[in-house]
Structure 1
């Protein structure tokens, strides 16, 4: 399985090295690090990696999570907490079929002290939570080991034939386009925009759009912009109007 493990802003070199070792144990080899706050190749990291030193040295570093996920077609975030406006975390085993059907899945872990923040989880189509006892604090490498085990243990089973879904970069570009269009037509305002876009993200991510479908949707958005700007140029209406009456409510 082409599973990438993404560590967002790790703080401790030893944790990165131990995470690389956990990946090697489970058969994952694509390590990506976003904005590291440490030297992930120092002696402590290499010592904790043990035989995964080559995996650690081949890790790719990215300035942002969006860039790290750009070529992935499924991103799975990790969180132990419920977040407002975001889907509740699910057991990793329940996500396994979705991960195994993806061509290029990614598993995303947050900083050791805080975990992933909301803006990171927005870029993940689904979130998992590792079930624990009352004491729910796991070391980063432990979390990597457990979730990789859940996703990779059944890799010898036949993989269902499925269509290729859009990459996360294609989806993020589509969401940026959607946000611009919402503001153009007055569908939402600056105060409600984030909540509204989260609802749209949740709905469209469930659809697992293909690249062609994401382009189709963006073609519709371009036509909306052309129609609004054409009407404004002819003086029949303004480019921006008041908020739409069908604006989603908080209860939705």
Structure 2
């Protein structure tokens, strides 16, 4: 499986190296770092990576999460907390069929101190949480090891009470295509007065949840954007016609 592991703003080189080692243990080799706050090739990182040094040196660095996920068709965030306006985290085994059916999935982990913030999780189609005891704080490398195991090495059987995520055989739109769609949707909502600056983020989160669940193909995302373009054109054309007619009326009714 072409699984990418994305570490957002990691703080210490030792954690990066340990995460690389955990990836290699489970068979993942695509490490991506978003705005790291340390040198990922520091001696401590290399030492902690052990036999995963080659994987560590091949890691790609991105300025933003959006760029790191641009070529991915499914992105899975990790969180130990329930967030307002976002779907609650699921057990990794529930998400396994979705990940294994994807052509280019990504697994996203947040900074050591805070985890992923809401704006990061918005870019992920689903969120998972590793079940723990009362003390839920995991070291970054521990989390990488456990979730990579669930996606890459665990058996397909899941507990009977757990709902299965439908497996899609279509080629899903990548995250760059979907983020472009969401930007387009936000602009259209503002244009037609469907939302305003205060409510826009909450409203768009609801749309994200619904449309990400649909697992749109690239063609379907283009179809949706074509509809948005037609709405925008119609609104602007109506506004233009109103201005033209208003000016014509003023000319006809005014003094000669």
Q: Which has the larger radius of gyration?
A: 2
Report how far residue 154 of structure 1 moved.
Answer: 4.6
Q: Which contiguous aligned blocks of 4+ residues in structure 1 show a shift greater than 3 angstroms?
A: 154-157
SS in 1 for 2:32: strand
Q: Which residue of 2 aligns with 1:181?
A: 188
Q: Which residue of 1 aligns with 2:174?
A: 167
Residues in 2 aligned to 1:89 and 1:131: alpha-carbon distance in whole angstroms = 10
Report how far residue 93 of structure 1 moved.
Answer: 0.6
Report how far residue 215 of structure 1 moved.
Answer: 0.1
1:169-194 Cα deviation digits (max 9, x unpaired): 00000000000000000000000000
Q: How many residue pairs get matched?
A: 235
Match of 2:209 among 202, 209, 222: 202
Report how far residue 153 of structure 1 moved.
Answer: 1.1
1:107-118 aligned within 5 A: 107-118=107-118
In structure 2, list runs of 5 or more residues that go unmatched: 158-166, 245-256
Q: Which residue of 1 aligns with 2:242?
A: 235
Report how far residue 236 of structure 1 moved.
Answer: 7.1
TM-score when normalising by structure 1: 0.91
Structure 1 residues 138, 12: closer, same or farther in 2, change over 3 A?
A: same
Residues in 1 aligned to 2:59 and 2:155: alpha-carbon distance in whole angstroms = 23
1:6-64 Cα deviation digits (max 9, x unpaired): 00000000000000000000000000000000011010000000000000000000000
Report how far residue 156 of structure 1 moved.
Answer: 9.5
Report how far residue 161 of structure 1 moved.
Answer: 7.1
Is the aligned partner of 1:41 residue 2:59? no
Residues in 1 aligned to 2:53 and 2:99: alpha-carbon distance in whole angstroms = 26
For the aligned residue pairs, the C-alpha RMSD in angstroms reads 1.5
Residues in 2 aligned to 1:233 and 1:161: alpha-carbon distance in whole angstroms = 44
Residues in 1 aligned to 2:97 and 2:156: alpha-carbon distance in whole angstroms = 13
Q: Which residue of 2 aligns with 1:248?
A: none
Q: Which residue of 2 aligns with 1:76?
A: 76
Structure 1 residues 155, 213: closer, same or farther in 2, change over 3 A?
A: farther
Report how far residue 163 of structure 1 moved.
Answer: 0.8
Report how far residue 85 of structure 1 moved.
Answer: 0.1
In structure 1, list runs of 5 or more residues that go unmatched: 238-252
